[in-house]
Amino acid sequence: MDRTDLKEIQSLPGNDQCFDCAEIGNTQWASVSFGILFCIECSGKHRALGVHVDFVRSLTLDSWKSEQVALMKAGGNLKCFNSFKASKVPMAVTDGGGRNGLVNDSNDFLERYTHMGATKYKEQLLKEIVQQSKSVIVDPDSSTTTQLSDEEKDGIYRSARLDPTLAWHKPILPVITKLIALSVQVVFGFPVFPLLLLLGFARVVLYPANTLLQGICWLVIFIPLAGSFLFGRYLYKTIINDRCPPFKSAQNFLSERIIQGRAIRIEGKYDVFLPSSTDKNIHNDKKDDDDDNTKNKRIGLILYPAPMINHTAYSQIAAKISDKGNIIVVVMSMEPFRMNLDSVENETKRALQVMYELLTDIAPNYPVSEWTIGGHSLGSHLAIKVAKATSPGTSKAVIWGCITRPLDYKSSTLSLPTNKIDVLLLIGSEDKSVNSVPERNNLLTILPPREGSSGRTIYRTIPGGNHNGFGHYERPKNQKKDGKRTITLDEQQRIVVDETVQFLLGRTSSTTSSGAVDVMPKSKAAVVGAICSKKNE
């Protein structure tokens, strides 16, 4: 950068003071993303946000492209300050250039520069430059944006919009085979075979002429066959009729995220949402943390969608968790069946394969040191089983809106080894499928609540939330099982993101700030009472 440019940038209003800590006369560092200057100490925290959020340059040491210089000239600390203030972005600097109470640690930085108002300002600044020069100026850090041709972008949009309601007709044969195998397995799983053998032996050898015995023999064969047929038919109908597309907004969101380089779709397998920062030390800023083991950890979350729901429906919520907690979030695709018809062993292998692929191939810059598993609805059953199978490597599981009555609801396959896996269970207060007393009692037995040293499950209820509100989809056929949300989808997901991130980062405290109520699911009345008292606070 030449002297006149440097002088011009330094003389912009507010540029003599560090944007973040208000230190005067030491602004040698710049953010090309926001067009602001700051001190060397704050530059480290800017860098930690990652180039996707914030691109940092030294005014004197680094080389500058002409469009970057133009952006710095269009920006300025005061201009950015006023815009941030107007959109309520949390800042540590006050109007007069002094300091307010904000600690200004890396958490605050993350919140500040990933705030919606900050993102908008960044985009606005870019637009100004583009209008000025009439040439395409690009965010200096997102080189991926420029390299994509229109065809490539079209391809991304096409992949995100793969018609989810019609895709079933292609793999119809494997679906049917799988269904037959599953129903035979389930129905013949009952101990009828020894009985059948005994009866057959009696019929043929001992009483060859007994017609009553003959009748019983036929019944023993016929009942399981009819049973498998009916069960298979039920599953088949469910898989076809209950399929639910994601909102278009979710598909567009995913596409844009991929174009920005912040998400990767491995078609037919999973979607990865990348944190804004590659800095693996991002989680070590806990203030009252004396456990060295939780430091320097990059957390990953593998998320299993609800049955019949296209996994794209979870794009927004996954991205928000990733943004807020600097967590890698993998949303598993359950296509083509959209429910787990495979063995837990195979699903566990699949999860381990995903962890391996991310580390070696897909996202080597984001090495995950602690994996956690989560799931929504029936997906949470799979999540628990996979978490169990991968423990002690997996120490945490998140359950969103546990489900009605699947086959294994009461079985011990869902109870966890005590003192091995921490669980967060989030339920909407309007979720009719889990708010009946017997179902809640079941949950309490399977996942004992955290009280003293016994259980390890934290129960939280989202006031006004429902069963569908964890993803971007609406399931009209589910109306009988699911109540109506009394809060917006955004509000429910904000609470879910807050609680999930706090839990995964090991920061869940006894008092919740998200708006969720800390209550054991003993009865609907208890939940309502807790919500009322929360409102009155």
Alpha helix locations (H) across 403-510?
A: 437-446, 489-504
Candidates 14-22, 64-72, 158-166, 242-250 — which segment interacts with Zn ion by CB under 5 A? Answer: 14-22
- For the CB of residue 74, give the shortest distance to Zn ion in the complex, in Å: 22
Candidates 21-29, 105-113, 307-315, 395-403 — which segment interacts with Zn ion by CB under 5 A? Answer: 21-29
Candidates 18-26, 76-84, 272-280, 340-348 — which segment interacts with Zn ion by CB under 5 A? Answer: 18-26
Coil, strand or helix at 260: coil
What are the DSSP calls for 341-403, one per residue?
-S-HHHHHHHHHHHHHHIIIII-TTS--SEEEEEEETHHHHHHHHHHHHHTTTEEEEEEES--
In order of 5, 28, 65, the CA distances from 138 in angstroms are 20, 23, 11
Ranges within 81-100 binding Zn ion (CB under 5 A): none
- For the CB of residue 26, give the shortest distance to Zn ion in the complex, in Å: 8
What are the DSSP calls for 39-58, one per residue?
-HHHHHHHHHT-TTT--EEE
> Which is closer to Zn ion, CB of 104 or CB of 277?
104
> Which is closer to Zn ion, CB of 20 or CB of 271?
20
- For the CB of residue 255, give the shortest distance to Zn ion in the complex, in Å: 37
> Which is closer to Zn ion, CB of 28 or CB of 514?
28
Instruction: In whole angstroms, give the CA distance from residue 31 to residue 71.
Output: 10
Residues 6+ apart with CB under 8 A from 327: 275, 299, 300, 301, 321, 501, 504
> Which is closer to Zn ion, CB of 22 or CB of 317?
22
* CA–CA–CA angle 427, 490, 375 (5° rounding): 40
Instruction: Please report whether residue 102 would count as binding Zn ion according to CB under 5 A.
Output: no
Instruction: In whole angstroms, give the CA distance from residue 413 to residue 410.
Output: 8
- For the CB of residue 278, give the shortest distance to Zn ion in the complex, in Å: 22
Instruction: In whole angstroms, give the CA distance from residue 251 to residue 376.
Output: 19
Instruction: Please report whether residue 20 would count as binding Zn ion according to CB under 5 A.
Output: yes
Instruction: Please report whether residue 444 would count as binding Zn ion according to CB under 5 A.
Output: no
- What DSSP character marks residue 247? P
- For the CB of residue 104, give the shortest distance to Zn ion in the complex, in Å: 8
- For the CB of residue 77, give the shortest distance to Zn ion in the complex, in Å: 11
Ranges within 340-369 binding Zn ion (CB under 5 A): none
Coil, strand or helix at 162: coil
Instruction: Please report whether residue 78 would count as binding Zn ion according to CB under 5 A.
Output: no
**CA quadruple 368, 372, 377, 381: dihedral sign:** positive
Candidates 23-31, 243-251, 321-329, 348-356 — which segment interacts with Zn ion by CB under 5 A? Answer: 23-31
> Which is closer to Zn ion, CB of 21 or CB of 240?
21
In order of 405, 435, 524, the CA distances from 439 in angstroms are 8, 7, 11
Compute how many residues bind Zn ion; rule: CB under 5 A: 7
> Which is closer to Zn ion, CB of 23 or CB of 342?
23
188 Ramachandran zone, left/alpha/beta (phi>0; psi -120 to 50): alpha
Instruction: Please report whether residue 18 would count as binding Zn ion according to CB under 5 A.
Output: yes
> Which is closer to Zn ion, CB of 21 or CB of 221?
21
- For the CB of residue 99, give the shortest distance to Zn ion in the complex, in Å: 10
- For the CB of residue 36, give the shortest distance to Zn ion in the complex, in Å: 11
The answer to whether residues 525 and 533 touch, using CB atoms and an 8 Å cutoff, is: no
Instruction: Please report whether residue 220 would count as binding Zn ion according to CB under 5 A.
Output: no
> Which is closer to Zn ion, CB of 14 or CB of 428?
14
In order of 10, 15, 37, 39, the CA distances from 27 in angstroms are 8, 7, 6, 5
> Which is closer to Zn ion, CB of 103 or CB of 230?
103
- For the CB of residue 283, give the shortest distance to Zn ion in the complex, in Å: 22
474 Ramachandran zone, left/alpha/beta (phi>0; psi -120 to 50): beta
Ranges within 29-68 binding Zn ion (CB under 5 A): 38-39, 42
Instruction: Please report whether residue 21 would count as binding Zn ion according to CB under 5 A.
Output: yes
> Which is closer to Zn ion, CB of 22 or CB of 179?
22
> Which is closer to Zn ion, CB of 75 or CB of 449?
75
> Which is closer to Zn ion, CB of 39 or CB of 373?
39
344-357 and 378-390 are packed helices; what angle lies between their axes, rounded to 10 degrees? 70
- For the CB of residue 19, give the shortest distance to Zn ion in the complex, in Å: 7
DSSP tally for the chain: helices H, then strands E: 18, 12
Instruction: In whole angstroms, give the CA distance from residue 256 to residue 6.
Output: 35
| Structure token digits, residue 2 | 């030449």
- For the CB of residue 39, give the shortest distance to Zn ion in the complex, in Å: 3
- For the CB of residue 478, give the shortest distance to Zn ion in the complex, in Å: 51
The answer to whether residues 381 and 407 touch, using CB atoms and an 8 Å cutoff, is: no
Binding site for Zn ion (CB under 5 A): 18, 20-21, 23, 38-39, 42
